[in-house]
Amino acid sequence: MIFTFINTLLAGTIAFGVVYNSARIALSERSRELASLRVLGFTRAEISYILLGELGILTVLAIPLGCVIGYGLCDYLASNMVSDLYRVPLVLKPRSYAFAATVVLVAATLSSLVVRRQLDHLDLVAVLKTKE
């Protein structure tokens, strides 16, 4: 169980990093538009919904694709570990997929909370002073 825990911890860290990096890139690309919307009267929650809603949709759409790719990778590894002395069977249970999806969703939630904090502290005046 120690090896499984370490793998889960590393997978969660990688998932957090990927989602956080994606959110930071989206925030840096759209900071001017989001600040403009804040000046026009949108609330912080509405601005967060715009950015983090897209992040949530991408995460939810990526989970089934990741499950399919993960199954293919497991099948590839199991088929290449066959020799005359032993064979590694491919045993994947629905519980494994649920656990992996939960790890990704928790990582996405934590990274969205961090990005939400940064989104709440947008400098509206500085963003709107820049010339295009």
Does residue 32 fall inside a structural domain? yes
pLDDT in tens, 18-77: 989 998 998 888 888 888 888 888 888 898 898 899 989 999 999 999 999 999 999 999
* 128: three-class secondary structure by DSSP: helix
Distance CA 108, CA 16 (A): 6
Distance CA 82, CA 41 (A): 63
Count of structural domains, the chain: 1
Task: With residue 52 as reference, give the H or E element that holds it.
Answer: helix 44-80
Q: What is the pLDDT of residue 17?
A: 92
Query: What are the tokens at 6?
Result: 């370490």
Q: Give the type of residue at 44.
A: R
Higher per-residue pLDDT: 69 or 125: 69
Question: Residue 104 belongs to what domain range?
Answer: 2-62+94-129
pTM above 0.85, yes or no: no
Burial of 50 (0-12, 13-18, 19+ CB in 10 A): middle
Does residue 86 fall inside a structural domain? no
Q: Give the type of residue at 63.
A: I
Does residue 100 fall inside a structural domain? yes
Does residue 84 fall inside a structural domain? no
Does residue 80 fall inside a structural domain? no
Asked if residues 88 and 82 have their Cβ atoms less than 8 Å apart, the reply is yes
Q: What is the pLDDT of residue 132?
A: 63
